[in-house]
Amino acid sequence: MDFGGANGYKESIPNALSFKEPVMAITAGSPLPHAKFKIMTETGPAEISTDELFKGKKAVLFAVPGAFTPTCTNSHLPGFLHHAADLKAKGVDVIACTSVNDVFVMDAWSKASGAKGTITFLADGNGDFAKAVGLELDGAPIGFGIRSKRYAMFLDDGVVKKLHVEDTPGTAIESSAEKLLSDL
Ligand code: BEZ
């Protein structure tokens, strides 16, 4: 992007600062865009792609507006933890949670919630995935910056088969584990 600055300025503008048109929200029937997340491994933070996570698998991916926030911690995440065995019994190979938080926050939340090892925590620190699926949330009015809407999707081989998006970030009903289970 050219901001008309001094020589070399053009190349130094990172993608995250470029002004892109918002993407239409993804819908059932569409493949997930290729994207990368950060995950915590035994040796520290690492990168993982949507292909590595979801290709050839049945998966549930749910997104929250923030790790450790009230609805996410007290209702949304516990629902998926509680129903993990039920989801697996219906053929789900992977249960993953994403949020626009850094990998250290996501790892701390996975431990504090007791979900580490059952749910895969995917840090979307710059919100690239949230933007790519058109499900970003403008949390600026409450001091959150750009986050992800709250949603849950069922994926088969990386293709969205079911998608439930909440209208408000403080509600986890449409996007609950119970609702998604009733789809399967
Ligand atoms: C919540 O988890 O309750 C919440 C998260 C972000 C914005 C508003 C509410």
From 64, 68, 71, 77, the mutation candidate for ligand 1 (largest count of ligand atoms within 8 A of CB) is 71
pLDDT in tens, 46-67: 999 999 999 999 999 999 999 9
Q: Which domain holds residue 59?
A: 25-183
Q: The domain spanning residue 43 has which CATH number?
A: 3.40.30.10
Measured from the CB, is residue 69 less than 6 Å from ligand 1? yes
Whether 154 maps to a domain, the answer reads: yes
Burial class (CB in 10 A: 0-12, 13-18, 19+), 101: buried
CA–CA dist 17, 15 (Å, integer): 5
pLDDT in tens, 82-113: 999 999 999 999 999 999 999 999 999 999 99
Model pTM score? 0.89
Whether 116 maps to a domain, the answer reads: yes
pLDDT at 20: 56
Whether 8 maps to a domain, the answer reads: no
CA–CA dist 121, 18 (Å, integer): 27
Burial class (CB in 10 A: 0-12, 13-18, 19+), 15: exposed
Whether 121 maps to a domain, the answer reads: yes
Would residue 72 show up in a list of annotated catalytic residues for this protein?
yes
Q: How many domains does the chain have?
A: 1
pLDDT in tens, 130-158: 999 999 999 999 999 999 999 999 999 99
Measured from the CB, is residue 170 less than 6 Å from ligand 1? yes
